[in-house]
Amino acid sequence: MEGIDHLAPERSKSQFDVDEMKIVWAGSPHAFEVSDRMSRLVASDPAFRKDNRPMLGRKELFKNTMRKAAYAWKRIIELRLTEEEASMLRSFVDEPAFTDLHWGMFIPAIKGQGTEEQQKQWLPLAQKMQIIGCYAQTELGHGSNVQGLETTATFDPKTDEFVIHSPTLTSSKWWPGGLGKIATHGAVYARLLTDGRDYGVHGFIVQLRSLDDHLPLPGITIGDIGMKFGNGAYNTMDNGVLQFDHVRIPRNQMLMRVSQVTREGKYVQSSVPRQLVYGTMVYVRQTIVSDASIALSRAVCIATRYSCVRRQFGGKKGGLETQVLDYKTQQARLFPLLASAYAFRFVGEWLKWLYMDVMKRLQAGDFSTLPEAHACTAGLKSLTTSVTADGIEECRKLCGGHGYLCSSGLPELFAVYVPTCTYEGDNVVLMLQVARHLMKTIAKLGSGKRPVGTTAYMGRVELLMQYQSNVQKAEDWLKPNFVLEAFEARAARKSVDCAKNLAKFSNPEEGFLELSAELVEAAVAHCQLIVVSKLCFRFIEKLQQDIPGKGVKQQLENLCIVYALNLLRKYLGDFLSTGCINAEQASLAGEQLRSLYSQLRPNAVALVDAFNYTDHYLGSVLGRYDGNVYPKLYEEAWKDPLNDSVVPDGFQEYVRPMLKQQLRNARL
Ligand SMILES: Cc1cc2nc3c(=O)[nH]c(=O)nc-3n(C[C@H](O)[C@H](O)[C@H](O)COP(=O)(O)OP(=O)(O)OC[C@H]3O[C@@H](n4cnc5c(N)ncnc54)[C@H](O)[C@@H]3O)c2cc1C
Per-residue H/E/C for 29-71 = HHHHHHHHHHHHHHHCCHHHCCCCHHHCCHHHHHHHHHHHHHH
Residue 521 CA, ligand 1 centroid: distance in Å: 20
Residues 365 and 219 in one domain: no
pLDDT at 55 over 70: yes
Beta strands at 220-224 and 240-244: parallel, antiparallel or unpaired: antiparallel
Nearest CA to ligand 1 atom 42: 429
- Residue 42 pLDDT grade (very low, low, confident, very high; cuts 50, 70, 90): very high
Q: Are residue 494 and residue 511 in the same domain, yes or no?
A: yes
Average pLDDT over residues 145-153: 97
Q: Do 259 and 160 belong together in one domain?
A: yes
Task: State whether 287 and 167 are in the same domain.
Answer: no
- The rounded distance, in Å, linking the Cα atoms of 414 and 229 is 10
Same domain? For 328 and 213 the reply is: no
CA dist 322 and 308 (Å) reads 9
Strands 259-261, 247-250: pairing kind:
unpaired
Whether residues 282 and 196 fall in one domain: no
Question: How far is Cα 93 from Cα 78, in angstroms, rounded to an integer?
Answer: 17
CA 71 to ligand 1 center in whole angstroms: 32
Confirm whether 548 is domain-assigned.
yes
Quickly state the pLDDT bin for 416 (edges 50, 70, 90): very high
- Whether 144 maps to a domain, the answer reads yes
CB-CB contact of 33 with 209 (8 Å):
no
Average pLDDT over residues 169-176: 98
Do residues 204 and 162 make contact, with C-beta atoms less than 8 angstroms apart? yes
CA pair distance 106, 135, nearest whole angstrom: 6
CB atoms within 10 A of CB 644: 10
Which ranges in 503-537 belong to alpha helices (H)?
A: 508-514, 516-533
Q: Which atom belonging to ligand 1 lies closest to the Cα atom of 189?
A: 11
CA angle 554/556/559 to nearest 5° reads 110
Question: pTM of the entire structure?
Answer: 0.96
pLDDT digits (tens, 9 = 90+) for 334-371: 999 999 999 999 999 899 888 889 889 888 888 888 88
290 CA → ligand 1 middle, Å: 21
Atom of ligand 1 nearest to the CA of 234: 1
- What pLDDT is attached to residue 1? 47
561, 577, 609 — which closes off a domain? 609
Domain membership of residue 102 (yes or no) is no
- Choosing from 575, 590, 609, the residue where a domain stops is 609
Residues with a known catalytic role: 424
- Domain assignment present for 180: yes
- State the complex-level ipTM: 0.98
177 is in an annotated binding site: yes
Closest CA to 161 of 250, 253, 246, 247: 250
> In the Cβ-directed half-sphere of 494, how many Cα atoms lie within 13 Å?
28
Return the higher-pLDDT residue of 267 and 317: 267
pLDDT at 447: 87
**What's the CA gap between 300 and 285, in Å, rounded?**
22
Question: How far away, in angstroms, is 419 Cα from ligand 1 center?
Answer: 9
Q: Is residue 81 part of a domain?
A: no
Scanning 310-404, the segments in alpha helix (DSSP H) are 328-363, 370-398
Residue 398: pLDDT over 70: yes
425 Cα to the center of ligand 1, angstroms? 6
For residues 667 and 38, the model is more confident at: 38
What is the CATH number for 356? 1.20.140.10
How far apart are the C-alpha atoms of 183 and 203, rounded to whole Å?
Answer: 16
Which atom of ligand 1 has the smallest separation from the CA of 427? 47
Select the more confidently predicted residue: 447 or 492.
492
CATH of the domain at 182: 2.40.110.10
**Is residue 168 situated within a structural domain?**
yes
pLDDT tens-digit series, residues 616-653: 999 999 999 999 999 999 999 999 999 999 999 999 99
Do residue 262 and residue 286 come from a single domain?
Answer: no
For 391-409, the three-class secondary structure string (H helix, E strand, C coil) is HHHHHHHHCHHHHHCHHHC
pLDDT digits 0-9 by tens, 222-265: 999 999 999 999 999 999 999 999 999 999 999 999 999 999 99
418, 426, 512: which to mutate for ligand 1, most atoms within 8 A of CB?
Answer: 426
Nearest Cα to 497, choosing from 513, 514, 518?
A: 518
Q: How many CB atoms lie within 10 A of CB 21?
A: 25
Asked whether residue 43 is assigned to any structural domain, the reply reads no
CA–CA separation, 119 and 98 (whole Å) = 21
> Residue 134 CA: which ligand 1 atom is closest?
8
**Ligand 1 shell residues, CB under 6 Å:** 101, 135-138, 143-144, 175-177, 234, 239, 419, 422-423, 426, 428-429, 432, 516
Q: 241 and 223 in contact (C-beta within 8 Å)?
A: yes
CB-CB contact of 34 with 14 (8 Å): no
Query: 377 and 526 share a domain?
Result: yes
- Which of these three, 243, 272, 301, is where a domain ends? 272
Cα angle at 215 between 210 and 221, to 5 degrees?
A: 110
Residues 246 and 297 in one domain: no
Ligand 1 pocket test, candidate residues 98, 140, 149, 175, most atoms within 8 A of CB: 175
User: What ligand 1 atom has the least distance to the C-alpha of 513?
Assistant: 42
Query: Is the pLDDT higher at 535 or at 182?
Result: 182
**SS3 at position 520:** helix
Q: Are residues 388 and 298 in the same domain?
A: yes
Mean pLDDT of all residues in 596-615: 98
Distance 151 CA to ligand 1 centre (A): 17
Mutation test of ligand 1: which of 137, 138, 519 has the most ligand atoms closer than 8 Å to its C-beta?
Answer: 138
CA distances from 267 to 199, 256, 352, 421, 626 (A): 8, 11, 35, 36, 64
The Å distance, Cα 146 to ligand 1 centre, comes to 10
Q: What local confidence, expressed as pLDDT, does residue 278 receive?
A: 77
The values of phi and psi at residue 149, to 5°, are -60, 150
134-147 exposure pattern, b = at least 16 Cβ within 10 A, e = fewer = bbbbbbbebbeeee
Phi/psi of residue 313, nearest 5 degrees? 60, 170
Q: Which percentage of the chain shows pLDDT scores above 70? A: 98
Atom of ligand 1 nearest to the CA of 173: 11
Average pLDDT, the chain: 95
- Give domain status of residue 466, yes or no: no
Is 65 annotated to bind ligand? no
Q: How far apart (Å, rounded) are the C-alpha atoms in residues 394 and 309?
A: 18
Residue of minimum CA distance from atom 29 in ligand 1? 144
The answer to whether the beta carbons of residues 503 and 443 sit under 8 Å apart is no
Per-residue pLDDT averaged across 390-407, rounded? 98
Query: What is the biggest distance separating any 2 CA atoms in the chain, rounded to whole angstroms?
Result: 92
- Please give the tally of structural domains in the chain: 2
Distance 426 CA to ligand 1 centre (A): 5
pLDDT for res 281: 79
Cα–Cα distance for residue pair 95/160, rounded to 1 Å = 41
Same domain, 282 and 268: no
Ligand 1 atom 47 nearest Cα: 428
Residues 200, 192: contact at Cβ < 8 Å? Answer: yes
Model confidence pLDDT, tens digit, residues 532-586: 998 766 666 666 666 788 999 999 999 999 999 999 999 999 999 999 999 999 9
Domain residue limits at 240: 132-272
The answer on 406 and 317 residing in a single domain is yes
Give the amino acid at 401: G
Q: Which of 239, 281, 291, 429 to mutate to test the pocket of ligand 1 (most atoms within 8 A of CB)?
A: 429
